Amino acid sequence: MWAYLVSILERFSYSGLESYKKCPAQFKFRYIDKIRKPDEGIEAFTGKRVHEALEFLYSEVQSGRLPFIDGILDHYEDIWKRKWHDRIAIAKRGERKEDYFHLGEDCIARFYRKNQPFAERVEGIELEMDFMLDGDESYRMKGIMDRLDHDGNGNYEIHDYKTGKRALSQNQADKDGQLALYQIALEQQREDVQDVSLVWHFVRYGIVVKSKRTKEQLQQLTGSMKKRINEIRLHEKQGSTFPAKESILCNWCYYWEECPQKQGSNPFIPNYQ
């Protein structure tokens, strides 16, 4: 039915579908028109470096080594320096890149103190997920799982690291779709799954939030994701516009030049470091 679109949108991601929900125009610029920007926000850059440092930590643990915190922080500093580029923007006035660098250090040190000696039975880190909704090839999804733990008896934990300012409440975690989609992928790919816990680490505060999903909730999520995908494909098929939704999020958007609701470059992010 949707074969004509396969070359454009072969697989969807949760973040992509959330992007469509927040602003269809931004989704089109990025995922259909494939307009790539060299710009990057300092918050996203810092989050990626913290993720990479924690990935390094658990790769060492999986290899039978327990690294000292100094070694993890040295690795963080190294990848920060190597990957820094001149199109990283700081939208908030008065803040410097050093502030964010030290924020990342604090996140890593706090996580290390809270979780040592890292005795979890880690099944995998940075696992790429490729799966289908309802087993239908027309609804292929992709994602990356930060960490998967398994006790050997069919009990799994899907872990996600968050560096942002806002921690999910229990109610918000119980409704969140990203890790629940990863549970759908896990249950498709493994036959021994008995129980799955979804675990968020809000590393800025040392807060951990856990949640679970029923089969009915997973089916409802599947239905809502398929509905959103169908809506996107219908827009594309009919050649209709992907409308821009103006909100506070526009202040962090790099598609002002393309957006019909904006003019010129984004004035909120001129402060390149």
CB 20 within 8 A of CB 228: yes
What pLDDT does 10 receive?
80
- Look at residue 3 in the predicted model and tell me its pLDDT: 40
Residue 202 identity = F
Tokens of 235: 């827009």
Q: Domain residues of the chain, as ranges?
A: 40-115, 122-212
Q: What is the pTM of this model?
A: 0.92
Mean pLDDT within 91-109: 93
Dist CA 198 CA 181 (whole Å): 10
- Is the predicted pLDDT of residue 8 greater than 70, yes or no? no
pLDDT, one tens digit per residue, over 52-73 is 999 999 999 999 998 999 999 9
Q: What is the pLDDT of residue 152?
A: 94
Q: What is the pLDDT of residues 218-273, one digit of tens each?
A: 999 999 999 999 999 998 888 888 999 999 999 889 999 999 999 888 887 765 55
* Residue 247 φ then ψ, to 5°: -160, 180
pLDDT at residue 42 above 80?
yes
Q: Say which amino acid occupies 95.
A: E
